[in-house]
Chain A
């Protein structure tokens, strides 16, 4: 009997260590993909597929010993260039003055590629999947499965050779694809791309000293938060909505952001829309209208909107 239980526990131990090893391997892949997008000099193009809509971008990145530079060009929108030098992001516009923020990554890129592993591993389990051929390259699948079902899942395919991400699918909790990020062209070079070298030294406007933090006097309360989310204590003001906005909250789980807007009632029905993985949920009411925008399921958005009092 002793021997039997000994054998059983040995088997359980072997299986558990196997799982632990697989998990470690998957996080090693995650490290590899982050290392690729943060350390390599590259010139790539990618598309973002949201339903029937396609957005195309060109994305360049370079590093010298002391400086990092990243350039994102939305090809479908003329007149906007997004540039990051170290931790300053510039939105360069042709017809208006540049808009400058402080951020260590460009928010228009998948935040998954830049957020620290410790933060991501709090929210997700990593599983290494099978390999497949993608655009003629050998791709390794990495699945990030949300620990809480309210969060979307990610499937990443990374180049087996360089670790560069080739495709990122955002899937709902029912594993329905909502959004696809897909690299169409990729060139990794040992040297800094020439056009980035010029931008490295270009004269750019200084970031604004501080953001005006005069929040609207909120008369409402948010009584519930989705698992893992917390309120951003002092979100920036929204000048263009100042007249209509009654209350506003910005929530984050470190990887995703959800906005909750409270406005006067427009007497329109409760409705939900989807822009790729972003849900837009409008909760109608007699006195106020609550709009929830963010990468959450409609159920979560409904619950969040209902919690406004």
Chain B
């Protein structure tokens, strides 16, 4: 009996057709259903059918489930500053930051050195306009058109005072020309008075 009903059950597991009476018995008897399940499992094992517990399209199911998830509007209540601060704090404890920071400091010092030196070298050029400036015409010291102008003369000077300044500038221009003239004839004057041979050139000739 038992072997007989196992035969049709075994045949059913091999995809043989069941009679109506046999199907009724199978549906009504839970033990028979378990047996059929065991037969199917044995058969599958014998046929070396690989059975995956996950279906091939399981990711689609996950996506579907995610699509059904409600959207949570998560917003941080921390400010940008706090976030940067905490990020820096975390980074500072990390081992990678120290060599990077040391490199950055070294680069900063090098930049300071380079630009500092450049600025030092540039500064004499920037300072080339000195104090009160006298505009003079450096002609060879002959009565030149008076172009002496004092930059400090401002509009609040009365006309009379301006006139006086102009006179003064003319006088200074004349004195400057006289000085240049003296420099020009000095060697001649000295030669005449000392009657010494010319030593201006020739001493360093090689």
Instruction: Report which A residues bind B (CB closer than 8 A).
Output: 31, 34-35, 38-39, 48-49, 51-53, 55, 68, 74, 77, 80, 82, 87, 89, 91, 93, 96, 99, 101-105, 107-108, 114-118, 169, 171-172, 175-178, 180, 207, 210-211, 213, 232-236, 238, 240-241, 250, 252, 257, 259, 261, 263, 266, 268, 271-275, 278, 280, 282, 291, 293-294
Please indicate the chain A residues that have their CB under 8 angstroms from the CB of B180 in the complex.
107
Instruction: Name the residue on B nearest A96 (C-beta).
Output: B142
For B176, what are the chain A residues with a Cβ–Cβ distance below 8 Å? 275, 278, 280, 293
Q: Are A232 and B186 in contact, with the CB atoms below 8 A?
A: yes
**B92 part of interface (Cβ distance < 8 Å):** no
Name the residue on B nearest A102 (C-beta): B188
Q: A108 — which chain B residues lie within 8 A by C-beta?
A: 138, 140
- Given A35-B206, A114-B201, residue A266 in contact with residue B133 (CB < 8 A): no
> In this assembly, does B53 line the interface, its C-beta being within 8 Å of a C-beta of chain A?
no
For residue B139, CB closer than 8 A to chain A, the reply is yes
Q: Which of B31-63 contact A (CB under 8 A)?
A: none
21 contacts between A and B (CB under 8 A): A31-B204, A51-B128, A87-B200, A101-B184, A104-B200, A107-B180, A107-B186, A107-B187, A177-B124, A207-B188, A210-B192, A232-B186, A232-B190, A234-B192, A240-B174, A263-B171, A268-B164, A268-B168, A273-B132, A273-B133, A274-B132
Q: By the criterion CB–CB under 8 Å, are B198 and A87 in contact?
A: yes
- How far is it, in angstroms, between the C-alpha of A296 and the C-alpha of B140 when the chains are bound? 21
Say yes or no: B204 contacts A211, CB within 8 Å: no
Of A176, A233, A241, the contact of B174 (CB 8 Å cutoff): A241
Closest 4 CB pairs of A and B: A104-B200, A273-B134, A102-B188, A259-B179
A275-B176, A291-B172 as given contacts; A104 in contact with B198, CB under 8 Å: yes
Are A117's CB and B203's CB within 8 A?
Answer: yes
Nearest chain A CB to B57's CB is how many angstroms away? 74
User: A257 touching B183 by the CB < 8 A rule?
Assistant: yes
Convert B98-125 into 0s and 1s, putting 1 for each residue whose CB lies closer than 8 angstroms to a CB of A: 0000000000000000000000000011
Number of A-B contacts defined by CB within 8 Å: 174
B184 (CB) vs chain A CBs: closest residue: A107
What residues make up the interface of B, taking CB atoms closer than 8 Å to A?
A: 124-125, 127-140, 142-143, 150, 164, 167-168, 171-172, 174-193, 198-201, 203-206
Chain A residues lying within 8 Å of B178, measured Cβ to Cβ, are 238, 240-241, 259, 261
Question: How far apart are the CA atoms of A171 and B127 in the complex, in Å?
Answer: 11
Query: Bound state CA distance, A268 and B186, in angstroms?
Result: 30
Asked whether A280 lies within 8 Å of B172 as measured between CB atoms, the reply is: yes
- Tell whether, in the assembled complex, residue A274 and residue B188 are in contact, meaning their CB atoms are under 8 Å apart: no
Question: Which of A176, A241, A252, A275 is close to B136, meaning CB atoms less than 8 Å apart?
Answer: A275
- Complex Cα distance, B123 from A177, in Å, reads 10
Bound-complex Cα distance A211 to B187 (A): 12
**Chain B residues within an 8 Å CB radius of A177:** 124-125, 127-128, 130
**Given A232-B189, A294-B179, A77-B132 contact (CB < 8 Å):** no
B183→A107 contact, CB < 8 A: yes
- For the complex with contacts A39-B206, A236-B186, A241-B175, 6 further pairs of A-B residues with Cβ separation under 8 Å are A77-B138, A77-B140, A107-B180, A116-B203, A259-B178, A259-B179
Measured between C-beta atoms, what is the minimum distance from B96 to chain A in Å?
41
CB-based contact B193/A234 at 8 Å: yes
B174 contact set on A, CB distance < 8 A: 240-241
Q: How far, in Å, is A182 (CB) from chain B's closest CB? A: 11
Question: How close is A289's CB to chain B, nearest CB, in angstroms?
Answer: 9
Contact A74 B138 (CB under 8 A): yes
- A38-B205, A52-B133 given as contacts; is B140 within 8 A of A80 (CB)? yes
CB within 8 A of B185: which of A82, A93, A236, A266?
A: A236
**Residue from A38, A169, A171 with most neighbouring chain B CB atoms (10 Å):** A38
A252 touching B186, Cβ below 8 Å? yes
Contact of A93 among B127, B142, B193 (CB under 8 A): B142
The answer for the CA separation of A99 and B125 in the assembled complex, in Å, is: 37
